[in-house]
Structures are given as structure tokens and as C-alpha cells.
Amino acid sequence: MSRMTAPKVPQSEARWPVFFALLALGLLNLALPPALTVGPRWVLLVVVLLLAVPTVLAHRAGRVSLSRVLGFVMSGVVTLALVGSLALLIAGLPKKSETPAELATSAACLWVANVLVFALWYWRLDAGGPFARDGRGAHTEGDFFFPQMMDGCPGPKKWTPRFVDYLFIAFNNSTAFSPTDTPVLSRWAKILTMLQSLISLLVVGVLASRAVGLI
């Protein structure tokens, strides 16, 4: 008599890359000059750490709704920090209060923060979010069309995107001003990619060039 095998439960995506991305955003905020941060520079890192602990506990306990809400709160906090720093940097340009080195450092920190912030949003929103993707087990439709979703594409049959895939999209969008090999399908995703490209263009084309011109 053959043994009956239990149905395979889809494996949940590891959350540690997301935690490291949030931690990196807190550290990038520490690297900015005090004049370019909303409040003390250490506040963002402390807020991220304080929110990360209950988020991890809620995820491990299976509290999906609570974990999702806390995740959105963390993403919102780092987004507001990025927008605030960018606004302060633009407002401070006419004053010429920063040295060229400080401007270059600020531009680099904001560019990297822009990549990480939008990677978090793509990961959090695509195809209903990470919990919905975990439940499906295979990624056949979503707001981004990955090459692995094509019929006959070599690779695992139960492929599903991870955080690094969304980080790749965000990086390409900030460097090439387009998601390159991953078409954008939904309207919200198109709006976010346009906003990310605009911020990247502003940081690289205006702020970084101004810093180089002052050297």
C-alpha cells in the first residue's frame, strides 16, 4: 500500500532582504548632513527598528493583516523621509550652504535611497503583495511581466519573484530610466516607475552635476 503524500505547502519568501533594505535606508539617513533630514538623523533608523520587531513577530505568528499594516507603515515612513530630504536639498541649493563634497554625498545617498524605497513598494504591491504571492506558489500574473512568466521559459516551474527581482527593476529604472527587460503592466506601477525616474533624473542630472560644477 503506497503512502499518501501531503500537498506541498508553498514556501514563504524570506523577509531578511527587506529588513536589510530598511536598515540601509536608516543608515543612509545618518550619512546625510543634518540640514537635509527631517528631524534628528537617527530618528529614521530608530523608527525602522522599532517597527521591524513587531512586524517580524506578527509575520512569524501568522498575523497577516497586522504584518501587512506594519509593513506599509514602514514603507510610508522611509518614503516620507526620502521626499523630505529631497525637498530640503532642492530648497537649500540657492543658499549654497553645502560644500561640493557634501552635495555629492547627499546626491549619492538620495539616489541609493530612491532605489531601495521604490524596490520596497514594487515588492509590497505587485500581484497583491508578498503574502498573496506566497499563497499562489507560482507567479503567472502581476503588475510586472517578468521574463520567467513567458511560456516555454527555462527555469523552475513554480517560479515566483523575490525582493531582489524588484530591486533589479528599481535599479534599472534609476539608471536607464526604464525597467528594461520587465514590462510594466498596471497603471499604479507605471505611475510609480515614472516618479522614480523623475527623482533619479532630478538627483543625478541636477544635484550631482551642481556638486561637480562647484569643485
Q: What is the pLDDT of residues 25-42, one digit of tens each?
A: 999 999 998 888 888 999
C-alpha cell at 46: 530608530
Q: What is the pLDDT of residue 2?
A: 44
Could you tell me the residue ranges of all domains in the chain?
16-214
Q: How far apart are CA 183 and CA 105, in angstroms?
A: 32
Q: What is the pLDDT of residue 102?
A: 76
Evaluate if residue 5 carries a pLDDT over 50.
no
Are the beta carbons of 44 and 25 closer than 8 angstroms? yes
- From 192, 168, 191, select the one nearest 180 (Cα to Cα): 168
C-alpha cell at 144: 510586472
As a whole number of angstroms, the distance between CA 203 and CA 115 comes to: 12
Q: Can you tell me the distance from the alpha carbon of 113 to that of 1, in angstroms, rounded to the nearest whole number?
A: 58
How far is C-alpha 32 from the geometric centre of its chain's CA atoms?
Answer: 19
pLDDT tops 50 at residue 108:
yes
CB atoms inside a 10 Å sphere around CB 7:
5
pTM of the model: 0.87
Q: What is the mean pLDDT of residues 92-101?
A: 70
